[in-house]
Structure 1
């Protein structure tokens, strides 16, 4: 194996290693309750990681066994995957940039306004067909029941840093003035706020605030928080992959030159 092919093999091994944190980020995202209920966002990062793994493995084999055709295919496919990963990154950053959260006096957690999130995300979750499926999925999850196991008193609950999803779906908005019994059980106020969500809240564990705009907003708050974290890993991975790709292109050209020189010495050309 020539020097250039050795370099290419090493670089492909590095690219192969880069696919592991990408797949890990994809699995982490897919395991979250909100992503479990929104299939559009559940597996794309993991699938990208798997494809990078397979392409890197093909490039490693091509470099190790001096298969120039396989190396050329690797370079083409890796370029396409890097572009696709960049598109996913830019799209995720763009749609998660607006933050609809706001502080609530006397509460450690934040609450969320639907109209302050990305219009694309708002349109997706407020679509009646999409939300009905998401709502049923959330009601079947342990997102809200877990709160009653972790917090007993009002002071404990109000001092808790609960997730955006729990803040929006598992309790009525603070402005409604409901009185705390437990995280999923609240007493109606004498003079409720005019906010529509205040009338949608129900102590039935299958209803709670799953029909509220605050729940939709909390779902988007969760998505934003999780994707912002995943983006850090993806940015590092794509920078490394671009560097590996540029060096691999140079090594591929050198390998072709080495092959032509070898053939020339053997009198093939």
Structure 2
């Protein structure tokens, strides 16, 4: 008789199997419809996750419900490795996102960000020309700066009081210390009296390409990344607890399989 833990393991893996189908389908759909670098970047990880969940859930279901001990053993090994990797990634996410925060600007509703405030590991991810070209392409495709002017022109006082996202603050306008003259949210007149110690982003800014090649833009991306990784880390903790429970139930099912197989072997020799 199949024990309760075997049934529970089978049910949990059927649920995982059903979840893997829309994930895999979404990845395949994206691979056929992708037109931007951002979409192409996502398609392979999504397909890989979908295939992984599908294969592992099938192994767990067959191993538990049909008492195939070796398949259940493989399933438990994969689950153990997944738990270890997820635990390590969660710790890593908290460590690399521990540094960095926005600086409050006097009489402004938004904050500004500096690349040097973030961890060295994160800085290296955006400082490479190849990586930054892909990130910049995604930012441009998302029209993150166009959204600032969609509502029409607004006066300087109203713009300064706006709450901007880290990316909008870093990529769509020059740093406050540049002292440029405001014309519109994405149009500023440069001054000719920049000092030798002025922020390098002041020279990088143009009204055509905005500040997408500025250090402040990279810092804004990292601030967004930091916020998202914090959320992912919290979700990972909840998921880890779920995985440990599933793994424990799977271990009970594996023990049941071995006991049933031993009993069947003993009975056949009796």
Question: What TM-score comes out, normalization by structure 2 length?
Answer: 0.79
Does the 8 Å contact 2:181/2:188 carry over to 1? yes
Q: Output aligned runs, 1:18-167, within 5 Å.
A: 36=38, 47-48=48-49, 51-150=52-151, 152-153=153-154, 154-167=156-169
- The farther-off stretch of 113-122 and 55-64 is 55-64
1:176 aligns with 2:178: yes
| CA distance in 2 between partners of 1:92 and 1:42 (Å) | 23
Does the 8 Å contact 1:200/1:209 carry over to 2? yes
Does the 8 Å contact 2:6/2:250 carry over to 1? no
| CA distance in 1 between partners of 2:102 and 2:79 (Å) | 38
Match of 1:29 in 2: none
Change (3 A) 1:136 1:8: closer
- The farther-off stretch of 2-11 and 95-104 is 2-11
Question: What TM-score comes out, normalization by structure 1 length?
Answer: 0.80
Match of 1:223 in 2: 225
Structure 1: 4+ residue segments shifted above 6 A: 17-20
Cα deviation digits, residues 34-71 of structure 1 (max 9, x gap)? x93995x9975884565245312320132222222221
Change (3 A) 1:18 1:110: farther
| CA distance in 2 between partners of 1:17 and 1:104 (Å) | 49
Does the 8 Å contact 2:99/2:117 carry over to 1? yes
Deviation (angstroms), 1:254:
2.4
| CA distance in 1 between partners of 2:268 and 2:233 (Å) | 53
Change (3 A) 1:87 1:15: farther
Cα deviation digits, residues 151-170 of structure 1 (max 9, x gap)? 64234433333221111111
| CA distance in 1 between partners of 2:160 and 2:18 (Å) | 43
Question: Where does the alignment leave 5 or more consecutive residues of structure 1 unmatched?
Answer: 27-34
After superposition, the CA RMSD in angstroms is 3.2
